[in-house]
Amino acid sequence: MPPTIAHDTEATIKEAQRYYEAIGKDNVMIKIPGTEAGLPAVEATIAAGINVNVTLLFSVESYVNCAWAYIHGLEARVAEGKDVSKLSSVASFFLSRIDNMIDAQLDEKIKVADLPEVQAKLVALKGKVAIANAKIAYQKYKEIVSGDRWKALAEKNANVQRLLWASTSTKNPAYSDVMYVDELVGQDTVNTLPPQTIDACADHCDVADRVESNLDEAYQTIESLKDPDINIDLDRVMADLLTEGIDKFVQPFQSLMDSLEEKVKSSSLFRSFWGTVRSSPFSPPPSNLQKPYGDSARKSAPHWPPARPHS
């Protein structure tokens, strides 16, 4: 969806339907941000029978709300006697951006910490929060799919909404370049990797089911942010990341739209020129030039451009 409508529920619902109809493919997956306004749109879009990727999820709470939006959409379809077996959804849960923001705050606190033990606490948290947060989100996923409401949908052959780990390239060179891969392998999850992380993983990933490992440590990591010596407001971090995430999409989206508009204008000039060419008796275009270029079209098309007429 255009990031400019991330906070407009009705506009998102309408655009999702328009995209789905324009693309005309059952397996299209519409990306909708997990904003307060986006989640009702997720529910409505799922209820309409359209696959959804819920993106820009940072907090565990936002993931849980996203999961329930998916369930509510499926339940609405079931209530109308409609099929839910072909619908899919993922919940895109972001990782490295969390560590980047929290590490920056930790670094500032380390600079002014007087006591060595306080410094040690702060240093120990660096690069740990995102994975801990993701592991807790996965536990929430397990709670949801073990509940009666999901089981009722599973009996209708509904597909689980998989957690998708996003923003998985390691930004800090001091950390493992596959840390967001190795630690989060688990059932019903997806990991989207940029090319450099794919290469790194092919070289030295240690693949094993670890998404449920060291859970006590994960909960302790999140809890430790409330320590007076650390005092990082995780809710504020997550809210800031969501706002920043939407803002980061706005400029690239506008650049894309400007580029497409320019191409359309160029195409219009080309069509105008082409109309002039078509009117020339010396170089008539092949009659099937604007038909789909399948094999049969290529075989039947005359040589193009045509030979210049002999004087």
Tens of pLDDT, residue by residue, the chain (311 residues): 888 999 999 999 999 999 999 999 999 999 999 999 999 999 999 999 999 999 999 999 999 999 999 999 999 999 999 999 999 999 999 999 999 999 999 999 999 999 999 999 999 999 999 999 999 999 999 999 999 999 999 999 999 999 999 999 999 999 999 999 999 999 999 999 999 999 999 999 999 999 999 999 999 999 999 999 999 999 999 999 999 999 888 888 888 888 888 888 887 665 665 555 444 444 444 444 343 333 433 333 333 333 444 44
Q: Which residues are catalytic?
A: 31
Kindly list the domain boundaries of the chain, sorted by start residue: 3-96+129-213+233-261
Give the 3-state secondary structure of 30-62. Answer: EEEECCCCHHHHHHHHHHCCCEEEEEEECCHHH
Q: Is the peptide bond before 305 cis (omega within 30 degrees of 0)?
A: yes
Q: Which of 67, 81, 73 is nearest to 49 (CA)?
A: 73
One-letter amino acid of 259: S
Q: Which two tokens stand for residue 19?
A: 């995209």
Contact 191, 181 (CB under 8 A): yes
Q: Which of 144, 107, 109, 99 is nearest to 238 (CA)?
A: 99
Helix/strand/coil for 208: coil
CA 82 to chain centre: 27
Q: Which two tokens stand for residue 25?
A: 């493919």
Q: How far apart are CA 260 and CA 129, in angstroms?
A: 40
Residues paired with 191 in a beta bridge: 165
For domain 3-96+129-213+233-261, which CATH number applies: 3.20.20.70, 3.40.50.150, 3.40.1180.10, 3.40.50.1380?
3.20.20.70
Q: Which of 101, 102, 100, 120 is nearest to 110 (CA)?
A: 120
Q: How far apart are CA 238 and CA 60, in angstroms?
A: 9
Helix/strand/coil for 303: coil
Contact 97, 242 (CB under 8 A): no
Q: How far apart are CA 136 and CA 64, in angstroms?
A: 11
Contact 146, 140 (CB under 8 A): no
- The sign of the torsion formed by the CA atoms of 119, 124, 130, 133 equals negative
